[in-house]
């Protein structure tokens, strides 16, 4: 990088100084002689140091006027070398920090995500040396395979590195459907209310037919079979009872909101306040609802803590203002839909088939708007009593 230095030299015989400089191999890029024997030169950085030494040798006053190009950068670095070292050290530390993992996140997916144990996965990783502070160069595919084969109860595992975070995604195994034992008689019950669409009693006696309305807990397939005209034998009921059911999410919000408004009435009161007593100067009116502003004026100087305190009260009132109904509707629809989806997730995504969905608005009162997100699903409702007792 090119660096030029401008010097101002004061001497009675600048010509001789110039000759000596040229004899020593100093190259002048610019040279001008002004009034009062002032010599202004522009030289390279190396020649500037040699010229300044020559001036000091003969006691000739010389000073640097300006620098430009590489000389400015080099001078700045010489003066602030500690800053440059600090910046370099910070860059090295950042590179070292960004080259390691500093957080491990575990997330579960799938129908049985709620049964995932993040602490167990973190302990498994810890036993294999996967912890915050290790280098980022991890074979994530191998780690995912080892996690899937090394931990019980997982049906899927994946690992990825995002910046300084190791993300583990896993899916707990879905419990296998219960195997019915013909030696363990049982009935099947409806785990939710709805309208029966079809009945398929593979074993046992159907207690409902298409078009019937069933309630949660109602017997739908009895675990019995005829062995004679007047005798039954208990067996394990098997079959499906598909119903049309509805899942609803809702949210509500106010159509009008309370706003504070000033009425225009105000009152002021003043008092002389000391550490020992308070003396009223002027009285003021108090309102049922008001906001106050307090101003203090010291009157005793720095050493006597006496002040005049003025309290200004402004009367306020609460006013009901009509909100933006369209904006409120959009917000309520989003909340109601999220509520409905949460309820559907609780049902289990593989258990039902979505038929249709819609939004319905109601007003429980004049100031309240309620949004209902409704979906119609087809689902097999026949479950054993044990599953019904545990929540379906």
pTM of the predicted protein model: 0.41
| pLDDT score for 16 | 81
Token pair for 15 = 């010509």
| pLDDT score for 74 | 60
Q: Are 392 and 383 in contact (CB under 8 A)?
A: yes
| pLDDT score for 249 | 92
Token pair for 313 = 């009260």
DSSP 342: H
Q: Are 75 and 67 in contact (CB under 8 A)?
A: yes
Share of the chain above pLDDT 70, in %: 87
Burial class (CB in 10 A: 0-12, 13-18, 19+), 296: exposed
Distance between CA 322 and CA 367 in Å, rounded?
A: 9
| pLDDT score for 245 | 93
pLDDT in tens, 350-377: 678 888 999 999 988 888 899 999 999 9
Confidence of residue 1 (pLDDT cuts 50, 70, 90): very low
For tokens 């990825």, the residue is: 160
| Fold for the domain defined by 3-79 | Alpha-Beta Plaits (3.30.70)
* Domain boundaries 103-172, corresponding CATH code: 3.10.20
End-to-end CA distance of the chain: 78
Token pair for 117 = 């144990």
**Spans of all domains in the chain:** 3-79, 103-172, 180-255+323-392, 258-321
Angle (nearest 5°) at CA 315 between 309 and 319: 150
Going from the C-alpha of 66 to that of each of 43, 59, 70, 315, the distances in angstroms are 11, 21, 12, 67
Enumerate helices (H) and strands (E) in the chain, giving the number of each: 8, 22
Say what the alpha-carbon torsion angle 43, 49, 51, 52 is, to the nearest 10 degrees.
120
């Amino acid at each position: 990088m090119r660096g030029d230095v401008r010097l101002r030299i004061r001497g009675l015989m600048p010509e001789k100084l110039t000759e000596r400089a040229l004899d020593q191999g100093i190259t002048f890029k610019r040279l001008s002689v002004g009034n009062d024997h002032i010599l202004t030169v522009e030289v390279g950085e190396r020649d500037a140091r040699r010229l300044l030494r020559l001036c000091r040798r003969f006691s000739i006053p010389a000073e640097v006027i300006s620098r430009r190009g590489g000389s400015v950068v080099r001078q700045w670095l010489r003066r602030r070398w500690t800053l440059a070292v600090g910046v370099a050290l910070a860059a090295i530390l950042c590179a070292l920090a960004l080259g390691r993992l500093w957080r491990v996140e575990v997330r579960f997916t799938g129908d049985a995500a709620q049964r995932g144990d993040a602490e167990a996965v973190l302990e498994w990783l810890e036993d294999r040396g996967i912890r915050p502070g290790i280098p980022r160069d991890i074979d994530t595919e191998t780690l995912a395979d080892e996690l899937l084969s090394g931990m019980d109860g997982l049906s899927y595992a994946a690992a990825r590195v995002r910046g300084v975070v190791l993300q583990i995604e896993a899916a707990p195994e879905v419990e296998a459907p219960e195997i019915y034992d013909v030696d363990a008689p049982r009935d099947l019950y409806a785990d939710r209310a709805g309208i029966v669409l079809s009945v398929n009693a593979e074993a046992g006696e159907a207690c409902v037919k298409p078009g019937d309305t069933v309630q949660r807990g109602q017997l739908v397939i009895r675990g019995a079979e005829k062995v004679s005209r007047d005798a039954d034998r208990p067996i394990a009921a098997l079959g499906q009872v598909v119903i049309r059911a509805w899942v609803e999410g809702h949210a509500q919000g106010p159509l009008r909101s309370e706003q504070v408004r000033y009425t225009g009435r105000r009152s002021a009161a003043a008092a002389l306040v000391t550490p020992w007593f308070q003396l009223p100067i002027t009285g003021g009116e108090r309102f049922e609802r008001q906001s106050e502003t307090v101003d203090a004026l010291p009157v005793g100087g720095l050493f006597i803590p006496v002040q005049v305190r003025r309290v200004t009260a402004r009367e306020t009132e609460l006013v009901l203002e009509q909100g933006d109904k369209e904006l409120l509707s959009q917000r309520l629809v989003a909340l109601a839909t999220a509520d409905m989806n949460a309820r559907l997730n609780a049902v289990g995504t593989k258990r039902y088939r979505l038929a249709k969905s819609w939004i319905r608005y109601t007003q429980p009162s004049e100031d309240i708007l309620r949004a209902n997100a409704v979906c119609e699903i087809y689902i097999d409702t026949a479950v054993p009593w044990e599953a019904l007792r545990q929540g379906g």
